[in-house]
Chains A and B, each alone.
Chain A
């Protein structure tokens, strides 16, 4: 019915074997002074096309002044699961927070 087969062959070396174009994650800087933030994803044949698609898809109303795209397959991720032991080391170190320390109210500016 469609030509997906040949399309798949062209992109066979890419990371997304069943899809013609690989998946890119899109990050936007909404204005100067702020970090780039993840906003979503899209498919594109290459990074240049991904940038153009990201502009058309995610910045139709001046939502961004800068875009990053990165192929989804190139991202290394931890698990977002809050129970993940990966984040355990920071869980029991309350002394890293200023509120851990008791200072008399009479001491100013601290």
Chain B
């Protein structure tokens, strides 16, 4: 095999399926699309791949207003205008006003890099489609210079999505897809251990049990995620809540369940047999 193989990172434990997906993306030179609930370590994965392969990581955090072209480059025409009128600088070289974006830098880099396109679903519906050509051909044109840039080293592209919006089919077909499952109890205990190392064992056990019970309620709009569990545990310890109290009721449930509709749903679920004290 001629590609570098990913075997997991030092601090990142990848399961077999995830490693298979990463290696397929590396070998077949396709972008890796990682989906999963918040708190499943999607963003961390890109770091782990970069570390594992000894490559530099470039991140592009997508927002609702992000345009595909910004990832490639921006042309600071206002600065140029300002310079020409008041700056007394030489403005004949447009190149000075072209700034490369993360994707642009990844494509022009001399060495291979890992490019993270984080939360691609945050942007406009058409955003992923606008990236297709550049990701496929690994080249782009700077219109203002009439110059085509071809990647020297094809970057490993990792794209994450929270599934807020659905991605276009044409885009999906070009990606290697992997869905990261929400961590199971054993794994979440380890994650909690990293953040709150001095937690009382019994409290942790009860809290984790309750947390998963809560997540199993059908019809929740927003299931509580890892970060909410961590916050909740912090509140519980600060308030000196005893493990028995967690078993009897759900103190500070507002930390876990934030949406009005979900609170109403819980109210209804509590009445059903087997869900008492939720």
Bound together: no
Chain B residues with CB under 8 Å of chain A are none
